[in-house]
Structure 1
Amino acid sequence: MGWAMLASMAVVAVLALVLLRYPRKLWTVPATALMLGAAGYAWQGSPGLPGHPVVPGGQRVAVDQGLIDLRDAMFGKYGTYAWSYGNLADGMLRQGDRERAVKVWQGAVRQVPGDVALWTGFGSALAEYDGNQISPAAQFAFDKALALSPEHPGPPFFYGLALIRANRFAEAEPWWEKAVALTPEKASYRPALVARLLTLEMFLQEQARREGRPAAGPAR
């Protein structure tokens, strides 16, 4: 097909020269251009390779606005590093660019290495980028967040969420219990954490019932 298209271009070029009454003495100029194009195609072209459709670089990701609101409520919103970098990373995710979303959080922890919210976001982004599996890098980021602020409910909650996304439900339960225990009674986001924990407990109890195991009751 490549050679056929090249030949067609040559025919069209000759017809254009005739119709435009291009001086025959100068026909060597376009002829030289065509010859150079043919030589370049013969040198670097690959007409024997099979064709294939072009695949888009990334698919848009549906970002959970409820989790974004929860993150903002737990770590603070306007004027905080987590809010600024989180918005930027969320935008990258909506465009389907998980790699750039991770790099946003990576740049954030480099700029502000003592911010617990940034390390938590970095861990969540790494886990999602790795196919919802907690890689050593994601584990390191979560461990860093947990060590920076042991009394903050954010790191244990989002670490538990990463465990759930990795289908490690039983491991997630104590982390969500810890997040609820660390949350002040009057915190606006406490009902959301309690509701998620109750849902997880009900799921685990049903799973235990189906497998014929004794179901553990709520630890709270």
Structure 2
Amino acid sequence: MGYVWLAAIGAGAFALLAILKVNRILWTMVAAALMLGAAGYAWQGRPGLAGHSASSGLAPTPDDGAMLELRDQMLERYTGAAAYLVAADAMTRIGERRAAVQVLLGGIRVAPKSVVLWTGLANALAAHDANQVSPPALFAFQQAMRLAPKHPAPPFFLGLAYVRAGEFATARRYWAKALALTPADISYRGEIATRLALLDRFLALQDVPTAGQNSPVILGLTQDPEP
């Protein structure tokens, strides 16, 4: 079937050239291009394979309700900047992580000094880059910390990104910083303290033979971002 379509494309191309009254000298160039494409298809094409929908390779990401709620408490959900977070969350849920990054970049163009948007962008970049703290993600986290050096959210979510990347000792440093920056009377301080305590427990278990069974997901540090 693939070769039939190839022939049809060739015939259609020459018919279009005739209709448009293109100079015959140019026909040889078109013929050469078509022959080159046909040769490549004959060499590497596999027309016998069944067709299927294209996939980006990125699975939809389930909501981590507790973490989103904590983020909203820390970054004040009901602000103009937070609307971009909501849109980015929607993109992430369906696996469109690149689109989530683009949404947040659009918000930063409007509000370049928003700690909310820089933290959200950092999270989106880490998710886009296979849950690693890539240089772009780290830059975004650092920018958020420069804009709000006394806000606990940027170091906390940088720590979370390191947890998801499997760099637990590094994560602990940032979670400890986030806890130190969090006022004693604020509602989410207990959430940060609990996660730091669980991370400490996890790190303590690393030298135990069965420690591999105690993943951050099981301990409640974070939800596994992949289904």
Same fold (TM over 0.5): yes
Superposed counterparts of 1:36-185, under 5 Å: 39-40=11-12, 48=42, 49-50=45-46, 51-58=49-56, 59-81=59-81, 83-185=82-184
Which residue number in structure 1 is paired with residue 23 of structure 2? none
Cα displacement string for residues 97-133 of structure 1 (whole angstroms, at most 9, x for unaligned residues) = 1100011111122211111111111111111111111
Q: List, as ranges, runs of 4+ consecutive aligned residues in structure 1 with deviation greater than 4 Å.
A: 2-5, 35-38, 41-48
Work out the CA distance in 2 between the residues paired with 1:38 and 1:148: 58
Structure number with the bigger relative contact order (C-alpha 8 A, sep ≥ 6) is 2
Q: Is the 8 A contact 1:60 1:93 kept in 2?
A: yes
DSSP-derived class of the 2:105 partner = helix
What TM-score do you get using the length of structure 2 for normalisation? 0.71
Q: Is the 8 A contact 1:63 1:93 kept in 2?
A: no
Aligned residue pairs, count = 182
Structure 1 residue 80: deviation in Å?
Answer: 3.6
Q: Is the 8 A contact 1:98 1:129 kept in 2?
A: yes
Give the superposed CA RMSD. Answer: 2.7
Cα displacement string for residues 64-96 of structure 1 (whole angstroms, at most 9, x for unaligned residues) = 122111111001021341x20110001111121
Q: Which moved more, 1:35-44 or 1:140-149?
A: 35-44
Work out the CA distance in 2 between the residues paired with 1:38 and 1:140: 50
Aligned partner letter, 1:68: L
Unmatched tracts of structure 2, length 5 or more:
15-30, 211-227
DSSP-derived class of the 2:187 partner = coil
Aligned partner letter, 2:201: M
Which residue number in structure 1 is paired with residue 17 of structure 2? none
Work out the CA distance in 2 between the residues paired with 1:164 and 1:175: 10
Give 1 or 2 for the bigger CA radius of gyration: 1
Work out the CA distance in 2 between the residues paired with 1:41 and 1:3: 15
Unmatched tracts of structure 1, length 5 or more:
6-34, 212-220
> Does 1:199 pair with 2:171?
no
Work out the CA distance in 1 between the residues paired with 2:54 and 2:9: 30
Q: Which moved more, 1:133-142 or 1:58-67?
A: 58-67
Q: Is the 8 A contact 1:173 1:197 kept in 2?
A: yes
